[in-house]
Amino acid sequence: MTIAIHESALIRHFNTRKEVLRAWEEKIGARFSPFRGFKMPDSRLYVEHPDFLDSIVDLIITNERHIFLRGPVGSGKSTLMLLALRDLPTLADRKGNKFVTGYVGMTGLYEKQMSAAIADSLRVKYRRSWESSQIIEAVAKECVRRYIEEKSRTALFVEDVADNQEAAFHKLRYLADLPTQEMKDEYPEVLDEPIITLIMSGTNVYWNAMLSFLPQIADRTEPLDVPALDDMKAKEFIGRRIAYAQGDIDSFNPNNTDISPFTDEAVKVINDAAKGNPRDIRMLARGCQQVAAENLRRSGNPEVTKDIAKLVAEAYATILREVR
């Protein structure tokens, strides 16, 4: 009995909260919360970093180093990978080689899972019964064949690389070192450069671990820090999400200065607190929606003011401190 009463009180509380949020969304002409988390975000929500993206792509094209996209959780590593993946198939390097791309997004992989994931991502055929070394050998052979016969180099993207088993990492190392000496001996005039470029991601802690435990790869890898969003980009981030929720994303103009109901001052406070981290900007904006929605019920005004943003940023800082 008692439990049933508590439950219904809880449900009523959540329903009221939902209604309050819903009223705010309706007021601004949104069909859902602009700040909900999407499993697969629409690419029209992305705020681009053209210069940084160019520097990634340039490094891949010049083929001098592997790449480690370095940044805290939620800083946009995966998003940048997707953007680079989008651009590469349309490009060629200075020798006229095109690119074949593969993306391994899963983590926690063992040797064989990693080998199979790489083969799948690069569309290389193998048998399920094969050992991981056979699978990787098939990948290596096919990448070399594509290089020689199709003038295609391979760019292999591997997310959160250090979250995999150590043995899995050695498979990557083998690919990173291609062509092998025997391959070079066999085709000396063609195989004079690496044929697979690795683009890995991870936090700074993992980069340091790689430096000490896998110096053979780290020495040939360029760490690139994912840039924080500046205030203009934070504004665009919020603006895109609002336009998306309003069904207006296709006419979104990044130079548009109006992102009401958020004020510019509120965005600045949010971005300072988030240190330009998109995941944190989203969380803070969602908190602001909550407070602004309560406010709307009392005053009829849906605005997200600087004061609301300050309130939410302070609460957020407290929570983060407690978590740490």
Q: Can you tell me the distance from the alpha carbon of 288 to that of 180, in angstroms, rounded to the nearest whole number?
A: 56
47 binds, among ligand ATP, Mg ion, none (CB under 5 to 8 A by kind): ligand ATP
| Least distance (Å) between residue 277 CB and Mg ion | 12
Interacting residue with ligand ATP among 24, 35, 46, 207 (CB under 6 A): 46
Pick between residue 111 and residue 159 the one whose CB is nearest to Mg ion: 159
223 binds, among Mg ion, ligand ATP, none (CB under 5 to 8 A by kind): none
Helix (H) or strand (E) run with residue 7 in it: helix 2-27
| Listed residue (52, 114, 113) closest to 79, CA to CA | 52
Pick between residue 27 and residue 105 the one whose CB is nearest to Mg ion: 105
Cβ atoms of 286 and 243 within 8 Å: the answer is no
Q: Can you tell me the distance from the alpha carbon of 18 to that of 41, in angstroms, rounded to the nearest whole number?
A: 23
| Least distance (Å) between residue 82 CB and ligand ATP | 8
Interacting residue with Mg ion among 78, 271, 289, 295 (CB under 5 A): 78
3-class DSSP assignment, residue 154: strand
Pattern of binders to ligand ATP over 63-92, x per CB under 6 A? --------x-xxxxxxx-------------
Helix (H) or strand (E) run with residue 259 in it: none
75 binds, among ligand ATP, Mg ion, none (CB under 5 to 8 A by kind): ligand ATP
Interacting residue with ligand ATP among 20, 22, 27, 45 (CB under 6 A): 45
79 binds Mg ion (CB under 5 A): no
| Listed residue (33, 1, 38) closest to 17, CA to CA | 33
Over its C-alpha atoms, the chain yields an Rg (Å, rounded) of: 24
> Burial code of 100-123, b = ≥16 C-beta within 10 A, e = fewer?
bbbbbeebebebbbbbbbbbebbe
47 binds ligand ATP (CB under 6 A): yes
105 binds, among ligand ATP, Mg ion, none (CB under 5 to 8 A by kind): none
Pick between residue 78 and residue 290 the one whose CB is nearest to Mg ion: 78
Cα 159 to chain centroid, rounded: 9
With contacts defined by CB under 5 A, name the span among 57-65, 73-81, 266-274, 291-299 that binds Mg ion. Answer: 73-81
Cβ atoms of 93 and 151 within 8 Å: the answer is no
State both tokens at 289.
């929606």
Q: Which of residues 256-295 bind ligand ATP (CB under 6 A)?
A: 278-279
Q: Can you give the binding site for ligand ATP, defined by CB under 6 A?
A: 41, 45-47, 71, 73-79, 237, 278-279
